[in-house]
Structure 1
Amino acid sequence: MPVPAWSPPEAVVAEAHRDQAAGLRRLFSREQLRIVAFAAGSVGVGKSILVANLAAALARQGKEVLILDENTKKNVASCFGALACHDLLHVINRERALSEALVSVAPGVRILPAARAVTKLGRLSLAQQESFLESITGMERRADVILVDASLDHPLGFSPLGLAAHDTVVVMSPTGSSITDAYALIKKVSLGYARKNFRILVNKVRSLDEAKSIYGNISKLSCSRGLARLEYTGYVPLDECLRQASRLSQPVDGLFPDAPAAKAYRTIASDLLTWPSLGEESAGLEEFVQQLFHVSKQIDPVAIYA
């Protein structure tokens, strides 16, 4: 029997690490993985309800959806009538298993509360980073789409999850203050963190024409100031059926599938799956987490609040 060639222990370990990384990339770097952050410049635009309904619409189209929720009050879980007891930080610190932190709110929709974890991302130890990566990439059911419900009052000025996501959607309503605050958000993130691509979604409007007019005005202003490229994503109309469904903590598509808002969510969900990349090519889950660690260390709150 031939004697196997000897390799030094460090070479074996390095090769094992390379094999593990390659396996993770093959397993999770799938083309259909889409990571989208939803942000707003002010409260009252209906962002969390939008994320909840969009997740439900995506799940009805056969997608497995994971929501990373940065909000503590009026969070996405409450939109489904559910209670979130644990946070991603408990998982990172190995105090809870990921399965304990995940909240299953509907078939194909899970929520991972991350309000506490997201403020600590820039200060995680190597062991905590490894715990985070192992937990996320070791999920029993892999996500096809990850939606981030970004907090409005992040202590660093803007969500690192939003900076690491493939797309950032700025949600606004047709009020003057909402439009002004949305523009201010785009301006500070563009100037502070060199984010040059955003998508615009107009919520609570009366018509497509109104939504297009609002988008056209903010896009023209952003372009003239050299801030960022804005892409129109769609709109959700004012709809009493949506209001009733929200009061019952149910997705509108399930209770009133023929309602204008339900049709709008289905359209946005279908479009989202085919969005062309606005910036760098979409990467897989492992690359997203590594990018998240990177941007968390680069964020300087002075730059964004200046």
Structure 2
Amino acid sequence: MTAAPAAPNSKAPATGARIIAITSGKGGVGKTFVSANLAAALTRHGLKVLVLDADLGLANLDVVLNLHPKVTLHDVFTGRSSLDDAVIEAPGGFSVLLAGSGMVEYSRLTPEVRNEFINVLQTLAPRYDVVLLDTGAGISDVVLFSVSLASEVLIVATPEPTSLTDAYAAIKVLATQQKRQHVRMVVNQAARPGDGRAITSQLQQVLDRFVTTESGRPMRLLHMGDIPADNAVREAVMRRQLLLLNTPGCPAALAVAQLANKIQSTLLA
């Protein structure tokens, strides 16, 4: 495996834009759902938001948003289209840059992919207040590289043991390889109020025992909120609509709005 850059944000542009990677240890936990709806919620705060589909090769942000782009990140990387043509507006008022799906050449982090991705981010980030990187799941070199470009990391997990085990593995890698001191966490599909905070606390205890950061202190896991299990989420996903537009008053939509409030007050104030 090609190692990701050692320091977080080591190649990110020097700009006022806040770059947040939304990632997960395991696939299927609702990471892209969170990215898209969080972008809509932050846009309601008057922020200029870009969601960059960093799941190179297995992208599905276009499916969640019911978009059919004529130009993708693949076309930009190959020089067939300009970057400006690839950025489009999504339902909810934020901008998106979509990646092509099924691109085998992006399953590995080559120097060409690395350089093209950095160039794209350096060009676009100054135009926005917030850039959300919707990464792939796991700890592949492509995922770790895209996460390394962000100043903050939001791990999405569900209460399932497999999701939490993989989240722990991802957090451990971020502490050891990228020298991160903290990671933020949101628990999706929480069964009861307070479950996410309890899960985060339990995971913190494991980190305290087994993971030490470069400073010698344990990795800090910051609980950002829970998104409750909600049938409205499945309905919105099946309709390929944003939950915040389809059912804005449902419990899960309100939880995403609260997550946006917390991100603005803690990271964007």
TM-score range, shorter chain: 0.7 to 0.9
SS at match of 1:52: helix
1:271/1:102 Cα in 2 relative to 1: closer, same or farther (>3 Å)?
A: same
Q: Which of 39, 58, 72 is equivalent to 2:23? A: 39
- Matched to 1:36, the amino acid is I
Matched, 1:29 2:20: no
Deviation at 1:109, TM superposition (A): 1.4
Q: Aligned equivalents of 1:181 and 1:123: distance in 2?
A: 27
**Aligned Cα root-mean-square deviation (Å):** 3.1
Matched, 1:192 2:192: no
- Matched to 2:95, the amino acid is R
Q: Does structure 2 conserve the Cα–Cα contact (< 8 Å) formed by 1:92 and 1:131?
A: no
Deviation at 1:79, TM superposition (A): 0.5
Deviation at 1:57, TM superposition (A): 1.3
Q: Aligned equivalents of 1:55 and 1:129: distance in 2?
A: 21
Larger-Rg structure: 1
TM-score relative to the length of structure 1: 0.71
Q: Aligned equivalents of 1:134 and 1:74: distance in 2?
A: 21
Matched, 1:269 2:269: no
Matched, 1:248 2:239: yes
Deviation at 1:68, TM superposition (A): 1.1
Matched, 1:259 2:244: no
Q: Which of 182, 192, 199 is equivalent to 2:167? A: 182
Q: Which of 65, 73, 76 is equivalent to 1:91? A: 76
Identity of aligned residues (%): 27
Q: Aligned equivalents of 2:183 and 2:88: distance in 1?
A: 29
Deviation at 1:209, TM superposition (A): 1.7
- Matched to 1:59, the amino acid is T
Q: Provide the residue aligned with 1:170 in structure 2.
A: 155
Which structure's residues are more often helix, by fraction? 1
Identify unmatched segments of 5+ residues in structure 2.
1-12, 213-218
Q: Provide the residue aligned with 1:56 in structure 2.
A: 40
SS at match of 1:257: coil
Q: Does structure 2 conserve the Cα–Cα contact (< 8 Å) formed by 1:37 and 1:148?
A: yes
- Matched to 1:97, the amino acid is S
Q: Which of 223, 229, 252 is equivalent to 2:208? A: 223
Q: Aligned equivalents of 1:96 and 1:191: distance in 2?
A: 38
SS at match of 1:245: helix
Identify unmatched segments of 5+ residues in structure 1.
1-24, 283-306
Count of paired positions: 247
